[in-house]
Amino acid sequence: MYEQLEQHVLKVISLPADQLNEFFGLLRKTEVKKKQFLIRPRDTVTTEYYVLKGCLKAYYMDETGEEHIIQFAIEDWWISDFEAFFHTKPAKLYVEAIEDSVVLGIDRDILEILYRRIPRFERFFRIKTTAAFVAGRERILAILEKSASERYLDFCATYPAIEKRVNNYHIANYLGIKPESLSRIRRQLELKP
């Protein structure tokens, strides 16, 4: 049914076809146009989303109106306000489409039932969450240790697919700097090598 997602799951756990299909049956397909939202602050977040097609961002908007992007998601990534989703709190983040996108949503309650029926899926999400946790640590370390231009080069090396798709503003914001600074950094890097 979803070739892409099937590969995504089978890369992590092995599973008979019927259990995979049971999982597919729990997903709801949603389309989001560019600049539309999947989640807004104060929303009740019961769903996490797998990206079939497109590009989205999860960000916090502070009191001064500044955005702070904590995550991008393109094909094959999961996105949500995970704090709200896991801890059953009102959303603090926006999840917004940067391009017209198609996502598959799965509900927390439905996921809980699935875990009881097929513990393998608990394993799948444990492993995915572990990888996300480790990636988060890497990002923290990068912010603590590296200069903006090193972080920019790392970003390009780690997420070339994202770097090509989103504009300077988004990359700068993710790196924790202003677009003007990113512009200057790019020029510096061009002059050197």
Partner DNA sequence: AGCTTTCACTAACCTACATCAAGGAGATTC
Partner DNA sequence: GAATCTCCTTGATGTAGGTTAGTGAAAGCT
Binding site for DNA (CB under 7 A): 147-149, 167-169, 176-187
In the complex, least distance from residue 30 CB atom to a copy of itself, rounded to whole angstroms = 23
Concatenate the DSSP letters of all residues of 4-68 into one string.
Answer: HHHHHHHTT----HHHHHHHHTT-EEEEE-TT-EEE-TT-B--EEEEEEES-EEEEEE-TTS-EE
In the complex, least distance from residue 147 CB atom to DNA, rounded to whole angstroms = 4
Q: Is 161 in the site for a copy of itself (CB under 8 A)?
A: no
Pick one of DNA, a copy of itself, none as the site partner of residue 133 (Cβ within 5 to 8 A by kind): a copy of itself
Pick one of a copy of itself, DNA, none as the site partner of residue 192 (Cβ within 5 to 8 A by kind): none
In the window 31-90, what residues touch a copy of itself (CB under 8 A)? 60, 62, 66, 68, 70, 82-83, 86-87
Rg (CA), the chain: 18
Name beta bridge partners: 97.
56
Q: Smaller CB distance to DNA: residue 94 or 124?
A: 94
Quote the longest CA-to-CA distance of the chain: 59
In the complex, least distance from residue 131 CB atom to a copy of itself, rounded to whole angstroms = 8
- Give the number of C-alpha atoms closer than 13 A to the C-alpha of residue 122, restricted to the C-beta side: 8
Contact 38, 49 (CB under 8 A): yes
Q: Smaller CB distance to DNA: residue 3 or 190?
A: 190
State which of residues 107, 122, 154, 163 lies at the interface with a copy of itself (CB under 8 A).
122
Q: Is 181 helix (H, G, I), strand (E, B) or coil?
A: helix
Q: Is 136 in the site for a copy of itself (CB under 8 A)?
A: yes
